[in-house]
A and B are shown apart, each in its own frame.
Chain A
Amino acid sequence: MTAGLTTISHRDRLRATIRNDRVRPWLLLAPTLAVVGVLFGGALVNAAIRSVRPVRGAGSTGLTLDAYRSLLADPELPRSLLLTLYLATTSTLVAVVVGISAALLLRRAAGRSRAVAAVFQLPLPIPHVVGALAVLALLGQSGLLSRVAGATGVIDEAASFPSLVFDPWAIGILVEYAWKEVPFIGIVALAILRSSRVRDHEAAARSLGAGTVQRLRHVSLPLVLPGVLAAAAIVFAFTFGAFEVPLLLGRSFPEALPVLAYRRHVDVDLASGPEALALSLLMALVAFACVAVAMVLTRRRVRVG
């Protein structure tokens, strides 16, 4: 009897805990957090451990920071970091500005918008590798543009076509990222713009006499930006860590950080293995820090604005 009562009261307490507003979200999030923690966090921790472990056959047994030391001594690292930051920042800015503009225009093309939006979204399911090869076939010195220019007499030979891939400003890489990421930001912005919340606010502003520019500045953009910024963080993190596009369209030196990490990963020198992992961790850290700083800064501004 007593035992039964205790059980019930335990159960009640458990129920109460589950219903508690503070605990409940965490319980619901637990499966996701577990997956993220085990797969993502586990990989990071594994990488961290292997980056400080001596290489096979090196003779030593303790932990070592050799990989980090030789990585930081590499003169290519700062240039590679700058290049990678440049690629990620530029791609993200282009994607945000062009993506939001495109979404605003697409929303206006009311009748045909479904067909136009479908075309706009076309690049999304196409892999980056395919995009990179397409850019190569289009912008390379023996690519389509060069051939057209040659056939129309604009240039005399392929070599006089400007280098748009393998070029110092990484134009080929930026074009590929724009092609793929503009629709991504655009689709997020378009979804927000089409929501009844945005439309209601805009209608209210119009009825209060706000002009097109005023509505855009004070109503539409502030409502769109928070969602777009989250998507922009994804674009930044992706372009910072993506490997295939810089490998296919980038210059031999300096190489983007992910390419550098890959080269070390496949280097025949065993000591390069831990360096590849150290570099990957460094990349994760930098990307995380950049996104965090950008989030804090822009959130404050968006709120104030």
Chain B
Amino acid sequence: MRHELRGTCAALVAVGLLLTACGSASPADDPSAGDSTVDGTEADDAGQADTATTPDPADWDAIVDVAEGATVNLHMWGGSTEINAFVDDFYAPRLADDHDITLNRVPLADTADAVSTVLSELDAGRTDDGAIDLIWINGENFATLDDADALLRGWAPSLPNAGLVDWDDPAIAFDAGRPVDGAESPWGSAQFQFVYDEARTDPAELPRSYAELADYIVANPGRVTYPSPPAFHGTRFIKQWFYELSGGPDPWLDGFDEDAYEDASAELWDVLDGLREDLWQGGETYPNDIADLDRLFANGEVDLTFTQLPAGIDAQIDAGVFPPTARPYVFDTGTIGDSHYLAIPANASSPEAAMVVANLALEPDLQVAKLDPANGWGDGIVIEPDRLAEDQRETLEQIEASLGDTAVDQQELAEATLPEVIGEYTNALDRDWDRYVRQQQPRG
């Protein structure tokens, strides 16, 4: 026994020594990225070199030359089989054929994973040759990387296909109230919609505003829930509720006003508090994300789920995610619509090839194909129809006209669009939801 103990101690000491060795080695080969101002020239030089090597898409031939043969690591939320398949089937082959570019789609559970990867790399001093070349991104995740100065800027409006985009449209030029500053190239547009099952719920009974939804929840206990913020759809869901209670989105579109927010949000927490017991599982637990909520909806545990697809839910019905009788609709009080983008981290290994991918994503035929639910996605376009060639515009109109009752009428959808608030309000709503709803902390 005693002998054994001595052996164990010796082993611990040995491991300890090894750890110490690692510990003293690490900071040396790990120049701190945070303190460039104090640390002096070396870090500054690295910063300058970085800017100098930002490729300029204005000289597109040069970009394409460098991009040839490269691999693009596209990190994107991977929760939708249909979207994944669209990227693999429509982008990857054309990139391989036209530019010898390998598109490596890296599926993420949450886009924030990519954000933390980029920030960790930059923190560790890896200012080039990063693991990520392109991120599918918007909103808070963009704001975080933008704040950390972790994205290449200025390139997006110089892409050859950028001329098809209306950069004066605030829904493109601003991502959640923040100027995209050429650091994001638009990819698609989306709008929050509710989904119900025609076979189970009479459309006449459906709530058409959050006020009616509150009544519906009380009348149908246990039949409604939403993904827990900061999961994307959950945040959207409570944000729209916040809009309705505070008289609309207008006060929250620029300039963070803490006091106004505190006053207005108090009512939201009161309302959610009052409804808690009538939510699914008594409001004691929430689905992690939209996939969880979709499953509850498909199993008949809840009456409502959400979608972001402007061209409807045909693809999800085909894939069996939703029953054939599922139908999307929007509240009379409107729902939030916005754009989503592609961004290149400042330390991307192949920024040129990433630009080629971002440019390809704006090709008219691929934008239209992406909208067509027959191809699996049904995502909104970000290019201007009147800047398209005649035949392309006709295809677009045909697809829009052919969307059946698994899509909300495109005109109705456009009229119901509400803008997205600035990121500070989103973060505040997420934070307070976590405190007052999830943790049920008392409010001071």
Contacts and interface: CB of A to CB of B under 8 A. Distances in A.
Interface of A: 26, 29, 33-34, 36-38, 41-42, 44-46, 49-50, 53-58, 61, 75-76, 140-142, 158-159, 163, 166, 168, 247-248, 251-254, 265-270, 273, 303
Given A54-B34, A141-B301, A268-B140, A252 B284 contact: yes
Nearest to A143: B299
A166 B26 contact: no
Contacts of A267: 112, 230
A63 to B, nearest CB: 10
Contact of A142 (B22, B301, B439): B301
Contact of A268 (B11, B21, B115, B439): B115
Nearest to B24: A45
Interface string B80-116: 0000000000000000000000000000001011011
A45 B34 contact: no
Given A252-B438, A268-B144, 4 more contacts: A54-B34, A142-B300, A253-B440, A270-B148
Interface string B12-40: 00110011011100110010111100100
A83 to B, nearest CB: 13
B22 A49 contact: no
Nearest to A55: B34
Given A37-B22, A268-B230, A76 B15 contact: no
Given A56-B123, A266-B113, A270-B119, A45 B23 contact: yes
A41 B281 contact: no
A273 B427 contact: no
10 contacts: A33-B11, A45-B23, A54-B34, A56-B148, A76-B439, A142-B296, A252-B284, A268-B115, A268-B140, A270-B144
Nearest to A44: B19
Contacts of B1: 303
B122 interface: yes
Interface of B: 1, 10-11, 14-15, 18-19, 21-23, 26-27, 30, 32-35, 38, 110, 112-113, 115-116, 119-120, 122-123, 140-141, 143-144, 147-149, 222, 228, 230, 281, 284-286, 288, 296, 299-301, 427, 438-441
Contact of B123 (A29, A36, A50, A254): A50
Contacts of B296: 142
A248 B1 CA distance: 43
Given A247-B288, A266-B110, A45 B116 contact: no
A44 B110 CA distance: 25
Nearest to A54: B34
Nearest to B123: A56
A49 B26 CA distance: 9
Mostly helix, strand, loop or mixed at chain B's interface?
A: helix
A265 to B, nearest CB: 6
Contacts of B123: 50, 53, 56
A33 B13 CA distance: 11
A251 B101 CA distance: 44
B19 A45 contact: yes
A36 B11 CA distance: 12
Q: Which of A41, A44, A163 has the most CB of B within 10 A?
A: A41
Contacts of B147: 57, 270
A37 B15 contact: yes
Nearest to A58: B34
B300 A61 contact: no
A159 B222 contact: yes
B111 to A, nearest CB: 9
Given A54-B34, A76-B439, A266 B112 contact: yes
Nearest to A254: B439
Contacts of B21: 37
Contacts of A159: 222, 301
Nearest to B14: A33
A164 to B, nearest CB: 12
A34 B285 contact: no
Contacts of B288: 247-248
